[in-house]
């Protein structure tokens, strides 16, 4: 079947003859649209309520089926002054457009009276949850990961990997722009001080990219909110380590960053830069054994496992709004990460046994150092135009370059005589990624059936890998290529996507549905370093991704919601390279050149409850992952394990996600999250069945105490339980 450009669009929208009231609600000060503002229609005669509506994400409202008569509008939004409009007459089948209705912030002050209130820092909507970064002072001086790990449903393990509802597959967006590279690389280099808000979109609509098992994380950076200049400078210095684990060097932690924003008239400029040194001390204790036939080989070990990490980054955005109907935006974000992991391990009792009888005993010392460099550059250019009928055209161009890789050295030395070199090896891998995408989106003017959006996206991604492995010839002193561990790969994706999204908001009921059609072509070229192997693996699909959501506002304090979404998790060069790469003396890592992408179906049902200054949400969810990719262990030889990335079957998760922001007292704020789910894997690997299951849960607690008007104390706690894998379990953290 020919694969090429797929562009949706045969949409027939009927227009019904009926009375309509439409308009847009915005902030009178910033001119930003106000989502979820309340617009109500009252009779002029007796002030009785006739109809009402809530504004959408663009601040637009539409009220239908209003009988002929005399009315007035009342527009309100939390934190703004309620606006009561003048009386107007409406005839049968008439459509009135009120244009833009501006609300003034409620800044009333009572002389001689001090008013104290609590600031809600979280916001729960149908398809996403939003959190203000200032909610987590414990993250100051850190990175985006230090904010994320405190959010409900999100957990972090001992290696610093972020998971959402138990999965590490999610997409990171920066100011609404998706990132195609390693999300953890970006999150570990973005300073927390430069973040204004974090949004977790658990059930993305059709207009969003289809990637991400757990949805999308959108990070909004600090920008100016009022005319003038805003400058923030931060620094940090870490105390000496409580435990050094007898590491050769003590870890160091220090850094600084700044954010500068200038907002004046039609221009909006934002600059930021950061430098961070973030070392970790550590120790590794291993008790590994292999069984082959009647021989069991043990290789217990213990030694240093530390990291030295340096990050520096900079960002720049420039916005230009020549008039209310046109806007331009230019942005750049770049960073460099140097991370050196030291694993100097003593294998103190290597031995092989048959029926409990030792065949041999030996000791050796492995000096292992892994250098990983992560460079990236992101650039974007956006333009949006609002037409006279309130329809909107948006275009976006995004380019991304990342470079991952670096050498790993392995030196096996005699022990206790460490001058004896048993084996001296190194391997390096360079993984440059070049990706770009173009988006074209059109939002129709508000229609009787709701807000309709259509769009098209073209994506191109080229991810290369150059893997070289060399071993020193002890006789000649020359490092020689090891062909069975050396390769060159090239992974190319071409993706065409078109989507249709419909959203409708009534008085208390809101709903949305969308369909995204994708054509994907994946070409994976594999070569060995001797030139004898050159193979092209081709895979592709033409596939729909559906989504839907519905919400019901029971009253001002209670909202019910439900959603469904379909997602995909694509493969990378590292997980597809079938040539083993040596990570440690005892470990190789290997991919699968025919690895299939993971396909995800997820359904959620939940509620949001607000009372006074407090908020609470509960979401029950179920997800199914087809073609689950797991890292599984095989035996390469008696003392070396081979970790292989493979499709092992189907995974299912069923659980509940709880979150709350509470104010027990005006000086005490409490933020809590709890996630628990039942996780199961069913499938096979290496002709052996895989059938594992367990309960998993995580807890995140943050408590803030106001000691004085200018002094506060905050403490946080994170816990992650054990997690099942295809061959065992990962420990708690």
In which element (H, E) is residue 186 found? Answer: helix 183-187
Report yes or no: 93 and 549 within 8 Å, Cβ to Cβ.
Answer: no
Q: Which position has the token pair 């420990």?
A: 731
Report domain extents, the chain: 20-103, 122-730
20-103 CATH choice from 3.40.50.2300, 3.30.390.30, 3.90.1150.10, 2.60.40.10: 2.60.40.10
* Cβ–Cβ under 8 Å, residues 361 and 353: no
Q: What span, in angstroms and rounded, lies between the C-alpha atoms of 303 and 46?
A: 82
Contact between 642 and 101 under an 8 Å Cβ cutoff? The reply is no
Of 730, 716, 725, which Cα lies nearest the Cα of 138? 716
Low-confidence ranges of the chain (pLDDT < 50): 1-18, 108-117
What is the C-alpha separation between 710 and 363, in angstroms, rounded?
59
d(CA 98, CA 73): 10
Rounded Cα gap, residues 656 and 211, in angstroms: 23
Token pair for 312: 């520096």
CA 613 to chain centre: 28
| Distances 3 to 60, 89, 100, 367, 539 between C-alpha atoms, Å | 39, 56, 45, 50, 11
- Report the pLDDT value the prediction gives residue 694, as an integer from 0 to 100: 87
ω into residue 416 within 30 of 0, thus cis?
Answer: yes
Phi (first) and psi of residue 558, to 5 degrees: -130, 130
Rounded to whole angstroms, the Cα distance separating 724 from 694 reads 6
In sequence order, the β-bridge partners of residue 232 are 259
The whole-angstrom separation of Cα 222 and Cα 230 is 10
According to the model, what pLDDT value does residue 356 have? 86
d(CA 158, CA 154): 14
Start-to-end CA distance of the chain, whole Å, equals 49
Torsion sign over Cα 279, 197, 177, 509: positive
The whole-angstrom separation of Cα 299 and Cα 289 is: 6
pLDDT of residue 13: 32
Of 3.40.640.10, 2.10.109.10, 2.40.170.20, 2.60.40.420, the CATH number of 122-730 is 2.40.170.20
Under 8 Å between Cβ of 40 and 66:
no
CA gap 175, 190 in Å, rounded: 12
Residues 427/207, Cβ–Cβ less than 8 Å = no
CA 287 – CA 637 distance, rounded (Å): 17
- List the one residue out of 304, 288, 286, 285 whose CA is nearest residue 296: 288
Give the global pTM. 0.78
What is the DSSP code (8-state) at residue 472? Answer: E
* Cα 35 → chain centroid: 23
Alpha-carbon 161 to chain mean position = 12
What is the pLDDT at residue 11? Answer: 30
Q: Give the DSSP letter string of 537-604.
A: EEEEEEEEEEEEEEEEE-SSSEEEEEEEEEEEE---HHHH--S-EEEETTEEEE--TTPPPEEEEEEE
Structural Rg of the chain based on CA atoms: 29
Q: What is the largest CA-CA distance in the chain?
A: 103
- Judge whether 19 and 64 are in contact, CB under 8 Å: yes
CA-wise closest residue to 198 among 224, 172, 161, 167: 172
Strand bridging mode 598-611 / 587-590: unpaired
Two structure tokens written together for 36:
């979820």
Round to whole Å and give the CA distance between 692 and 727: 8
Rounded Cα distance between 733 and 731, Å, is 7
Q: Tokens at residue 452, please? A: 């309709």
Q: Which two tokens stand for residue 576?
A: 């597809």
How far apart CA 662 and CA 178 sit, in angstroms, is 32
Torsion of CA 287, 636, 732, 662, to 10 degrees: 160
Q: Do domains 20-103 and 122-730 have the same CATH topology?
A: no
For residue 473 the two structure tokens come to 């010839």
**How far is it, in rounded angstroms, from Cα 58 to Cα 35?**
7
Q: Which among 60, 97, 177, 32 is positioned nearest to 444, based on CA atoms?
A: 60
CB–CB of 73/87 below 8 Å?
no
Nearest Cα to Cα of residue 570 among 186, 183, 220, 219 = 183
């Amino acid at each position: 079947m020919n694969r090429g450009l797929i562009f949706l669009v045969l949409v027939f929208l009927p227009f019904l003859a009926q009375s309509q009231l439409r308009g847009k609600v915005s902030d009178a000060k910033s001119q930003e649209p106000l989502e979820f503002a309340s617009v109500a229609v009252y009779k002029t005669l007796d002030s009785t309520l006739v109809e009402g509506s809530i504004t959408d994400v663009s601040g637009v409202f539409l009220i239908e089926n209003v009988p002929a008569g005399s009315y007035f509008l009342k527009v309100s939004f939390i934190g703004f002054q309620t606006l009561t409009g003048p009386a107007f007459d409406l005839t049968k089948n008439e459509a009135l457009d009120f244009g833009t209705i501006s609300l003034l912030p409620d800044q009333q002050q009572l002389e001689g009276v001090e008013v104290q209130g609590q600031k809600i820092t979280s916001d729960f909507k149908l398809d996403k949850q939003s959190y203000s970064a200032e909610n987590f002072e414990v993250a100051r001086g850190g990175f985006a990961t230090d904010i994320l790990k405190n959010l409900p449903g999100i957990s972090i393990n001992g290696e610093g990997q972020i998971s959402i509802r138990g999965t590490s597959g999610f997409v990171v967006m920066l100011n609404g722009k998706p990132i195609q590279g390693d999300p953890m690389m970006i999150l570990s280099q973005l300073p927390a001080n430069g973040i204004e808000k974090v949004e977790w979109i658990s059930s993305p609509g059709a207009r969003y990219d289809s990637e991400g098992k757990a949805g999308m994380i959108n990070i909004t950076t600090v920008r100016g909110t009022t005319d003038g200049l805003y400058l923030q400078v931060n620094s940090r210095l870490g105390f000496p380590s409580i435990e050094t684990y007898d590491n050769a060097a003590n870890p160091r932690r220090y850094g600084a960053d700044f954010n500068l924003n200038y907002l004046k008239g039609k221009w909006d400029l934002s600059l930021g830069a950061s430098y961070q040194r973030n070392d970790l001390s550590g120790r590794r204790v291993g008790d590994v054994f292999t069984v082959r036939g009647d021989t069991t080989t043990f290789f217990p070990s213990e030694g240093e496992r530390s990291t030295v990490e340096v990050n520096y980054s900079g960002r720049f955005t420039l916005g230009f709004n020549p008039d209310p109907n046109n806007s331009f935006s230019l942005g750049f974000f770049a960073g460099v990460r140097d991370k050196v992991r030291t694993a100097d391990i003593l294998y103190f009792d290597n031995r092989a046994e048959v029926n409990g009888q030792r065949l041999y005993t030996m000791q050796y010392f492995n000096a292992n150092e892994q250098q990983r460099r992560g460079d990236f550059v992101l650039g974007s250019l956006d333009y949006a135009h609002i037409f006279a009928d309130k329809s909107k055209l948006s275009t976006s161009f995004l380019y991304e370059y990342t470079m991952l890789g670096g050498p790993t050295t392995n030196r096996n030395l005699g022990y206790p005589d460490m001058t004896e070199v048993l084996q001296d090896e190194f391997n390096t891998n360079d993984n440059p990624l070049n990706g770009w995408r173009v988006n074209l989106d059109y939002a129709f003017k508000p229609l009787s059936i709701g807000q309709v959006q259509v769009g098209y996206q073209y994506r191109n991604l080229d991810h290369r890998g150059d893997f070289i492995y060399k071993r020193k010839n002890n006789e000649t002193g020359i490092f020689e290529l090891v062909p069975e561990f050396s390769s060159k790969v090239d992974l190319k994706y071409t993706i065409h996507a078109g989507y249709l999204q419909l959203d409708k908001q009534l008085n208390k009921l809101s709903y949305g549905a969308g369909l995204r059609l994708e054509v994907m072509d994946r070409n994976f070229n594999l070569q060995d370093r001797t030139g004898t192997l050159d193979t092209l693996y081709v895979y592709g699909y033409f596939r729909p991704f559906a989504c839907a959501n519905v919400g019901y506002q029971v009253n001002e304090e209670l909202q019910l919601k439900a959603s469904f979404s379909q997602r995909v998790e694509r493969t990378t060069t590292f997980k597809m390279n079938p040539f083993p790469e040596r990570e440690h003396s005892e470990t190789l890592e290997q991919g699968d050149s025919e690895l299939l992408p993971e396909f995800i179906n997820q359904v959620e049902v939940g509620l949001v409850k607000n009372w006074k200054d407090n908020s609470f949400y509960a979401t029950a969810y179920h997800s199914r992952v087809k073609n689950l990719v797991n890292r599984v262990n095989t035996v390469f030889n008696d003392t070396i394990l081979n970790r292989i990335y493979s499709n092992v079957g189907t995974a299912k998760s069923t659980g509940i996600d709880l979150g709350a922001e509470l104010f027990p007292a005006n000086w005490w704020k409490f933020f809590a999250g709890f996630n628990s789910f039942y996780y199961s894997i069913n499938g096979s690997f290496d002709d052996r069945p895989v059938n594992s299951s367990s309960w998993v849960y995580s807890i995140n607690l943050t408590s803030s105490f106001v000691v004085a008007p200018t002094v506060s104390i905050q403490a946080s706690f994170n816990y992650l339980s054990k997690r099942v894998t295809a061959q065992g379990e990962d420990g708690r953290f």
